[in-house]
Amino acid sequence: MTTANLQESDTTGDPTESPLIVIASNRGPYSFSVNKDGALESKRGSGGLVTALGALAEKHDVLWIAAALGKGDRKWVEQHEDTVQEVEGIKLRLVRPTARRYDQYYNEIANPLLWFIQHQLWDIPRTPSITRETWQAWRNGYVAVNKLFAEVIADTVRTATGGSNRPVIIFPQDYHLYLVPRYLREMLGRSVQIQPFVHIPWPGPDAWRVLPAEMRNAILTSLLQSDRVGFHTTKDAFNFVQCCRFYVPAAHSRGSRDTIYFHERRVKAHAYPISVDTEQIETLVEEPYTRMLKDQQITFIGDRKLILRVDRIEPSKNILRGLEAYRALLERYKEHIGKVQMLALLVPSRMEVDEYQDYLQAIMAQAGMINAEFSDEYWEPVRVLVGENYHRALAAMQLYDVLLVNPIADGMNLVAKEGALVNERNGVLVLSEYAGAFYELGEKALTVSPFDVHGTAEAIHHALKMQPDERRRRAEALRQQVKNADVKRWFYDQVDDALRASSSQAKKDSTPVTPGTNTSAES
Ligand code: GDG
């Protein structure tokens, strides 16, 4: 859908009003810091979600609500006295929980518990261990911060609509904000569309058994206060339906794979596969800085074949088994020795957490061992670059012969899509069947089980030996797939569905209710 028809859509009781779209996420599109003159400077944020929504919010009437993360953010909020401000075209308001509550919500519940459950990263005999502190963090941190988010969203919506009939669609993003739908419904009633999107995998009921029933039910029944819940794949949506059926007594699916009936309301679980901003990426690769980095990399690679990976330093990305597979490749197929170059571009993430530090140390040790075993005076088989540089990642993505994307679990994995879009060497994608991207790109990639180190080594070998015609055919098909469904489509498909539901809700509200009428938002 385009902006034009977004504004023309016949939506609620007052179709002349364009919708108010509210995005709520933990991390905002900008962060603020105090420069040496004491003034506040804004910096565009990083991460998949911001990459996806950033450009869109600049072009459309979107209001974004996020948490104030650092000192600069808090100063920005103080300066603006909790009002909405426009920053480089984005209307922004920041939520300000206390540092203690934020720490409990983010560092004790969202990341160590929910992320680990949804990526199934447990070492079950030892972790997780839900202690009294975890319960305190749940109640005083996660629940409280979600409630605060809902209060700020409700207040902002009331101010922005001024009691008019303007359609309001609220998109709470990701696992940090699972309880927002429940509180928003209590505060704003059924007049708004609430449509959360879950960016990470949603596993089936068994994975959720590690979460105590009170927490699990709070999450599920809150999401069931939404009008619709968005996921990357139909598998995630199906798993959500199964979890609700299994754990929530009042939830029924009536045989459906994508719908839950909860207290006579219908809640849809729908797949909206996220993608990349193709226009923005095509501009970035043309920038002189990216070109300069690309030239440097061309010199570094020489006439070797490039095996690339680009990831946050994150156990779910399966970087260690990727290195093991590379070692297995060099051991089994000696013909590649000296003829290939592995480049791992790793972006620091959650480095204050012990497990993440240990994981980086293990990666460096593993890479070091491969280099110790196979290098010669002219060749270093693995180069690991740790640091944040998106331009460098885009430069390398243009040059790979093989892109290795082998996560244990991944909501989507935008690197697979960016690589497909910008690569200039008809590179082959070696893709885990547990990345969300598998459902769109799997047929044109070489797919692997992330646990199968031998199979991954074989796939890399196959990719390196693939005939030029087949490489071209696959690369072209991948590129087309990404071009045909970019991030705008992801966003507008959700807006479209929400507007339709909003319109049908408005019609129902204006129809006298007779006993036995189905009160669902969609029929
Ligand atoms: C979560 C889900 C889902 C690379 N180097 C740098 C940098 N990048 C870019 C990548 C890519 C993005 O960051 C990372 O996105 P991913 O999708 O790979 O992974 P997550 O960060 O785990 O994102 C994921 C996503 O949300 C969207 O829903 O796909 O499954 O886990 O675009 O190229 N970005 C910056 N500096 C770098 O050095 N800023």
- Which of 142, 187, 156, 145 lies closest to 22, judged by CA? 156
| Structure tokens that stand for 427 in this block | 């590179």
Whether residue 511 is contained in a domain is answered as: no
Whether residue 477 is contained in a domain is answered as: yes
On whether both 182 and 203 belong to a single domain, the answer is yes
Cα separation of 497 and 193, whole Å? 10
| Atom number in ligand 1 closest to CA 49 | 27
- pLDDT on residue 80: 84
Q: Quote the DSSP letter at residue 240.
A: H
410 lines ligand 1 (CB under 6 A): yes
On whether both 54 and 162 belong to a single domain, the answer is yes
User: What is the number of structural domains in the chain?
Assistant: 2
Average pLDDT over every residue of 120-145: 96
On whether both 147 and 294 belong to a single domain, the answer is no
Give me ligand 1 centre to Cα 50, in Å: 9
Give the β-pairing of 446-448 and 428-432: parallel
422 lines ligand 1 (CB under 6 A): no
pLDDT reading at 133 higher than 80: yes
On whether both 247 and 286 belong to a single domain, the answer is no
On whether both 20 and 164 belong to a single domain, the answer is yes
On whether both 243 and 310 belong to a single domain, the answer is no
Q: Which residue's CA is the nearest one to ligand 1's atom 13?
A: 47
Whether residue 346 is contained in a domain is answered as: yes
Cα separation of 440 and 490, whole Å? 13
- Which of 434, 360, 426, 421 lies closest to 393, judged by CA? 421
| Atom number in ligand 1 closest to CA 436 | 30
pLDDT band of 8, cuts 50, 70, 90: very low
Whether residue 321 is contained in a domain is answered as: yes
pLDDT reading at 518 higher than 90: no
233 lines ligand 1 (CB under 6 A): no
pLDDT reading at 192 higher than 90: yes
112 lines ligand 1 (CB under 6 A): no
Cα separation of 459 and 307, whole Å? 12
Whether residue 489 is contained in a domain is answered as: no
Give me ligand 1 centre to Cα 508, in Å: 41
Give the β-pairing of 259-262 and 168-172: unpaired
What lies within 8 Å, CB to CB, of 56 at 6+ separation is 62, 277, 487, 488, 491
Query: Which tops the pLDDT comparison, 77 or 290?
Result: 290
Cα separation of 200 and 435, whole Å? 10
Residue 365's alpha-carbon distances to 313, 320, 358, 368, in angstroms, are 14, 10, 10, 5
Average pLDDT over every residue of 37-54: 70
Which range has the worst mean pLDDT, 6-10, 345-349, 421-425, 456-460? 6-10
Cα separation of 380 and 295, whole Å? 19
| Structure tokens that stand for 502 in this block | 């909003």
| Atom number in ligand 1 closest to CA 45 | 39
| Structure tokens that stand for 197 in this block | 């999107």
On whether both 221 and 359 belong to a single domain, the answer is no
On whether both 76 and 108 belong to a single domain, the answer is yes
Whether residue 150 is contained in a domain is answered as: yes
Q: Quote the DSSP letter at residue 427.
A: P
| Structure tokens that stand for 51 in this block | 């990459």
- pLDDT on residue 206: 97
Residue 85, domain extent: 8-274+494-503
Whether residue 348 is contained in a domain is answered as: yes
Cα separation of 475 and 480, whole Å? 9
**Helix-helix angle 354-374:319-332, to 10 degrees:** 10
The pLDDT mean for the chain works out to: 90
pLDDT in tens, 358-411: 999 999 999 999 999 999 999 999 999 999 999 999 999 999 999 999 999 999
Q: Which residue's CA is the nearest one to ligand 1's atom 34?
A: 390
Give me ligand 1 centre to Cα 381, in Å: 25
pLDDT band of 4, cuts 50, 70, 90: very low
On whether both 267 and 285 belong to a single domain, the answer is no
On whether both 242 and 304 belong to a single domain, the answer is no
Cα separation of 366 and 356, whole Å? 15
| Structure tokens that stand for 132 in this block | 């009294």
On whether both 270 and 283 belong to a single domain, the answer is no
Q: Measured in Å, how far apart are the chain's first and last C-alpha atoms?
A: 22
Average pLDDT over every residue of 63-81: 90
- pLDDT on residue 503: 77
pLDDT in tens, 398-448: 999 999 999 999 999 999 999 999 999 999 999 999 999 999 999 999 999
Whether residue 199 is contained in a domain is answered as: yes
Indicate which CATH number applies to the domain containing 221.
3.40.50.2000
pLDDT in tens, 292-317: 999 999 999 999 999 999 999 999 99
On whether both 362 and 254 belong to a single domain, the answer is no
344 lines ligand 1 (CB under 6 A): no
Cα separation of 504 and 103, whole Å? 41
